[in-house]
């Protein structure tokens, strides 16, 4: 298939940036979206032009690195997948495809389609962990009874790959689905109870400090999330925060 690509090009964080048109031809419907981008970049390099910078790593929907806003949707028109899992059969011959970076004040553009998502790392550092005494007296995890419902919900929350699609699709650039998932995966398990209050207060404080907006209650984040993280995690985070701030 032959396609017209309108791609955001930006030389650096301080550059104004603009949409630039490109033509690609003979694209197979069996290619992944990133393979199509590879074809474009090979074409640009061969013609002496600067290739389009974009994030990628595993290309298996695991790492959360790929982050393209395609035709107005985070990760493109399909559901339950990342950009690297999107295939060209989702498009038609002659289509025009708009490709932009994930946009949020807390995700500044580094170059072209690459954004800085280190704000997520700082939120994790604020409390997304448990402190375990590994001096030899640690209790075996298998000896702690946990209901299957809680274990399943914790595992569902832990599938969050931190790609940032929830932020990119939210009109307030809210990170509450991400933070809610990271809080929930510990709040549901006994190992996370000791630091529960400090964890939720510190992570929410860091989220606000990074400049993310508040939840809009629209639910677009859950729809666009490649791992289907539930809005219930935001509600759980709010409950955990209320408990932590009223504990007395």
Pull the structure tokens for residue 19: 């949409």
Q: What pLDDT does residue 142 have? A: 78
Could you read off the pLDDT of 107-142 as tens digits, one per residue? 999 999 999 999 999 999 999 998 877 667 777 777
Q: What is the mean pLDDT of residues 165-191?
A: 96
Pull the structure tokens for residue 188: 């549901």
DSSP 213: B
90 CB neighbour count, 10 Å cutoff:
16
DSSP 107: B
Could you read off the pLDDT of 62-91 as tens digits, one per residue? 998 998 999 999 999 999 999 999 999 999
pLDDT, the chain, mean = 94
The CATH number of domain 118-246 is 1.10.1060.10: yes
Q: What pLDDT does residue 237 have? A: 97
Q: What pLDDT does residue 134 have? A: 65
Pull the structure tokens for residue 242: 């209320």
DSSP 52: P
Could you tell me which of 123, 237, 221 has the C-alpha nearest to residue 167? 221
**Whole-structure pTM value:** 0.93
Which H or E element spans position 111? Answer: strand 109-111
Q: How far is CA 237 from CA 8, 139, 143, 157, 178, in A?
A: 35, 27, 27, 12, 10
Could you tell me which of 231, 207, 228 has the C-alpha nearest to residue 219? 231
Question: How far from each other are the two terminal CA atoms of the chain, in whole angstroms?
Answer: 64
Q: How confident is the model at residue 242 (pLDDT cuts 50, 70, 90)?
A: very high
Could you read off the pLDDT of 91-104 as tens digits, one per residue? 999 999 999 999 99
Which H or E element spans position 197? Answer: helix 196-210
The CATH number of domain 3-111 is 3.30.950.10: no
Could you read off the pLDDT of 36-48 as tens digits, one per residue? 999 999 999 999 9
Q: What pLDDT does residue 248 have? A: 57
Q: What is the residue extent of each domain of the chain?
A: 3-111, 118-246
| DSSP conformation letters of 134-158 | -SS-PPPGGGS---HHHHHHHHHHH
d(CA 124, CA 61): 21
């Amino acid at each position: 298939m032959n396609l017209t690509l309108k791609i955001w090009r930006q030389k650096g964080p301080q550059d104004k940036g603009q949409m630039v048109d490109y033509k690609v031809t003979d694209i197979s419907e069996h290619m992944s979206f990133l393979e199509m981008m590879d074809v474009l970049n090979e074409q640009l390099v061969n013609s002496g032009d600067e290739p389009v910078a974009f994030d990628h790593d595993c290309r298996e929907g695991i790492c959360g690195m790929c982050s393209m806003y395609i035709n107005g949707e985070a990760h493109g028109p399909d559901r339950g997948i990342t950009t690297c899992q999107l295939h060209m059969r989702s498009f038609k011959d002659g289509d025009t495809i708009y490709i932009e970076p994930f946009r949020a004040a807390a995700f500044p553009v580094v170059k072209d389609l690459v954004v800085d998502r280190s704000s997520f790392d700082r939120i994790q550092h604020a409390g997304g962990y448990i402190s375990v005494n590994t001096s030899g007296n640690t209790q075996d995890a298998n000896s702690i009874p946990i209901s299957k419902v809680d274990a399943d919900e914790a595992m569902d929350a832990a599938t969050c790959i931190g790609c940032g699609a929830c932020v990119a699709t939210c009109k307030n650039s809210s990170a509450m689905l991400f933070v809610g998932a990271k809080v929930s995966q510990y709040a549901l398990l006994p190992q996370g109870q000791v630091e529960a209050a400090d964890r939720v207060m510190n992570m929410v404080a860091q989220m606000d400090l990074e400049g993310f907006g508040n939840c809009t209650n629209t639910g677009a984040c859950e729809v666009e999330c490649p791992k289907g993280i539930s809005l219930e995690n935001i509600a759980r985070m709010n409950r955990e925060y209320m408990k932590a701030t009223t504990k007395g």
